[in-house]
Structure 1
Amino acid sequence: MTENEDASRPYRHDGTDRRMHNVDARTLRSLAHPLRIRLLNTLREFGPATASKLGERLGESSGATSYHLRQLAEAGLVEDAPELGKGRERWWRAVHEGSIFESADFLTHTDPEVRGAIGVVLHEVATTHAQELNTWLGTMSEWPQEWRQSSDMSDFKVRLTPELARELSAKLHAVVESYRDVVPEDTEGSAVVRTHLHTFPRPSE
């Protein structure tokens, strides 16, 4: 199972206490564009914005962001935020805090368009993770010593069965969830912490 929140950004979640969206084949096809994924992630992470502001942040034209925002709106992933607009200014916000989907189901879907769409989405998620990590490595010297000491970049190799691999991922997701609402947003010295999880088999030879 993959959860993409703002982050994008996969981790498991039962979806019972948060505004999570279960992605179906139709939504997946609408989401299968790199800019749409970036737009959705940005709205989830930084809150409502106009097409122009999103274009400035992402280095895209307002025409492109406006078009893809409308496509996301048709898929039910973003919506108007009219209370924020002034005059003809149109603001957009994400409808959900994150998305949940079972990537294995889409990889074996009978529709080749769906199989292609999940490939686009997963590769964009992987690209985003790499970009976020590289950004941290390039800016970590600007952070206080306490944050530099608290960061982590590790990898592990463990021999498992498919069932145990799923169990491992579920337990790691549960650990992350246990910290989700511990620190209030206005806590001095706090920051949003990104945790990426990738679990996959490797060839024995």
Structure 2
Amino acid sequence: MDENSQQPDDVSDRVEQRHAEDRVLDTGALRALAHPLRVRIYDMLSQYGPQTASSLAEKLGESSGSTSYHLRALAKHDLIREIDDRGTGRERWWERPVGGISFANADAMKTPAGRAATQIVMTEFFRNRNEQLLRFVNDGIQSAGTQWETGTLISTATARLTPQQSKELSTKIMALIDDAVDTYRNQTGEDVRPVTIRADVFPLPDLEGKP
């Protein structure tokens, strides 16, 4: 069967299997991540690959002592890990392990500490994403170069869907993203840059007075 002709159930099964081992962060991990600078460090490792405390400090405008402290805090909960065979005793390299994570921990949301940590993490995560998007819109479209103009998508649309249709659409989008990540995760070469892939599918507030 041609890949483009896959049935919805096939796509759903593939996405479910792909994310079956995603890590759901527990309250301890969420609390460890619940700091604006730690979210930025975690994002930097996710998007740009392995870094040292010094390289992170330079990119984030912080001291290497500060980034080193926060790196160790993240490592205690296995959110990141040291690369043993790279660097020296004074220059340690850190990476984010491959694999998906989820902030949606139902048990964590049952406690005030868990809810507060989740809120901080989600707020900072999306703040960083929105800042990146606005930076690109304001500066990056021209600075990225003409070769990126046709490879960029910033689009918003609205459809009227049932919950099941929304789930099917989300699954199809997730399958496309998974394929791209799995195929190009470690690609190197000329013109290769980290590309952030965003997908938002959620219901708008009901303004029509329906129950």
Q: TM-score, normalised by structure 1?
A: 0.79
| 2:25–2:105 CA contact under 8 A, matched in 1 | no
Displacement after TM superposition at 1:20 (Å): 4.9
> Contact between 1:32 and 1:121, CA under 8 Å: does it hold in 2?
yes
Aligned length: 192
Q: 2:140, 2:29 → 1: CA distance?
A: 35
Larger helix percent: 2
Separation in 2 of the partners of 1:197 and 1:17?
A: 16
Deviation at 1:148, TM superposition (A): 0.8
Partner of 1:114: 114
Q: How does 1:183-198 map to 2 (within 5 A)?
A: 183=184, 185-186=187-188, 188-198=190-200
Quick one: which of 74, 90, 105 aligns to 1:88?
90
Matches within 5 A, 1:161-176: 161-176=162-177
Match of 2:55 in 1: 53
Query: For residue 151 of structure 1, what is the aligned residue in structure 2?
Result: 152
Cα–Cα, structure 1 residues 150 and 81, in superposed 2: closer, same or farther, change >3 Å? closer
- Amino-acid identity (%): 34
What is the deviation of 1:188? 4.3
SS in 1 for 2:23: strand
Q: Take 2:85 and 2:145, find their aligned partners in 1: how far apart are those partners?
A: 38
Aligned to 2:129: 129
Relative distance call for 1:104 and 1:68 in structure 2 (3 A) is: closer
Consecutive unaligned residues of structure 2, counting only runs of 5 or more, are 1-14
CA contact (8 A) 2:26 2:105 kept: no
Distance of 1:180 and 1:102 partners within structure 2: 20
CA distance in 1, matches of 2:101, 2:64: 29
Structure 1: stretches of 5+ with no match in the other structure? 1-12
Per the alignment, in what secondary structure is the counterpart of residue 192 of structure 1? coil
Tell me: CA distance 1:63–1:190, structure 2 relative to 1, closer, same or farther (3 Å): closer
What code does the residue aligned with 1:112 have?
P
Partner SS for 2:85: helix
1:80/1:93 contact within 8 Å kept: yes
Alpha carbon RMSD of aligned pairs, Å?
Answer: 2.8
Q: How much has 1:172 moved relative to structure 2?
A: 0.8
Change (3 A) 1:105 1:166: farther
Partner of 2:31: 29
Cα distance in structure 2, aligned partners of 1:103 and 1:17: 14
- CA distance in 1: counterparts of 2:103 and 2:154, whole angstroms: 26
CA deviations on 1:116-137 (whole Å, 9 max, x unpaired) are 1111121122112212212222
Q: How far apart, CA to CA, are the structure 1 residues paired with 2:82 and 2:26?
A: 22
* Partner Cα distance (1:26, 1:154) in 2: 36
Secondary structure at the counterpart of residue 152 of structure 1:
coil
Equivalent residue, structure 2, for 1:141: 142
Deviates more, 1:120-129 or 1:43-52: 43-52
